[in-house]
Amino acid sequence: MIALYIVIGVIILIAVCNIRVVPQATQYVIESLGKYKVTWDAGIHAKIPFIQVIAKKITLKEQVMDSPPQPVITKDNVTMQIDTVVYFRIFDARLYTYGVVNPINALENLTATTLRNIVGELELDGTLTSRDTINSKMTSILDEATDKWGIKVTRVELKNIIPPAEIQNAMEKQMKAERDRRETLLQAEGHKAAAITRAEGDKQAMILAAEGERDARIARAEGEAKAIYLSKKAEADGLKALREAGADAAVLELKKYEALVNMSNGTAAKLIIPTDAVNAVTNNTIFSETTGLGDNTKSAPKKKPEKKADPCCDE
């Protein structure tokens, strides 16, 4: 009876030890007597003791393979170091287990050879500026080549491209020259903009000065016109006042003559005097000489007559 219990306990222990729980995103490859039997997905499973074994545990999560820098020669014979990063996942545990020995190593070698083939068709400048093209080509080639290994390549990225030291120095000099050229262009554009701005400012200043001079001339002309108008109006008012005061025609003619004299202002001027003004002045002059009124000119002293010698008596 005790032996039966022992046998039952051993059987239960063996059964419990052969129960397996497969985690999420994981697959187990099961072999039966050395031959592939089945692939376990996530969940609880039991295997036949001493007959079935777990050959391999495969994770289905996406993995990253960082390859070391590889020497690559471009089309123009420039050797540079390029390292890549490959993103992949296993979609078939059976193919991954039995497709190739050491699949990760095989993927690294395939990545290096593919990179050399693609970069060997490009020149240095094309390699430096065609990262996206290289990435897409490598992804397509690696994905197609690894399908039979149960590997899905989702993405390939060129991590670093390291050209030789002399090439780096030449590139730095080229970049410096390009920056100097851009700086020169920017300075020239700045000087041009400043010159245009100054020219426009000078133009506006000249326009404003001309408009100011024009307005000043108009103002001066209007002032002079108004002054002449007021002067003539004052003369007209004076003449009107004289007429209202009963001044005779001779006085008015004298006023006109005085106005003409004032117009000459002591300078050499040719005056055209109307005949009636001349007659009035003449009549007034005759009247003044006759009556002695208004004549302030002193008469010249009279010379005594010289005695003529008498030739008869003087002898």
Q: Can you give the pLDDT of all 315 residues of the chain as single tens digits?
A: 777 778 788 777 877 788 888 999 999 999 998 899 999 999 998 888 888 899 999 999 999 999 888 899 988 888 889 999 999 999 999 999 998 999 999 999 999 999 999 999 988 888 888 889 999 999 999 999 999 999 999 999 998 888 888 877 887 888 888 888 888 888 998 889 999 989 988 889 899 999 888 888 898 888 888 888 888 888 777 767 767 766 556 565 666 666 666 665 555 555 555 555 455 545 555 544 554 444 444 444 444 545 555 444 444
Measured in whole angstroms, how far is the alpha carbon of residue 146 from the centre of its chain? 51
| Distance separating alpha carbons of residues 118 and 133, to the nearest angstrom | 10
The predicted structure's pLDDT at residue 259: 64
CB 289 within 8 A of CB 295: yes
Residue 22: Cβ within 10 Å count:
17
Handedness of CA 270, 275, 279, 284 (dihedral sign): negative
CB 112 within 8 A of CB 67: yes
The predicted structure's pLDDT at residue 92: 92
- The CATH superfamily assigned to 66-163 is Band 7 domain (3.30.479.30)
The predicted structure's pLDDT at residue 125: 84
Q: Within the chain, which residue ranges are assigned CATH 3.30.479.30? A: 66-163
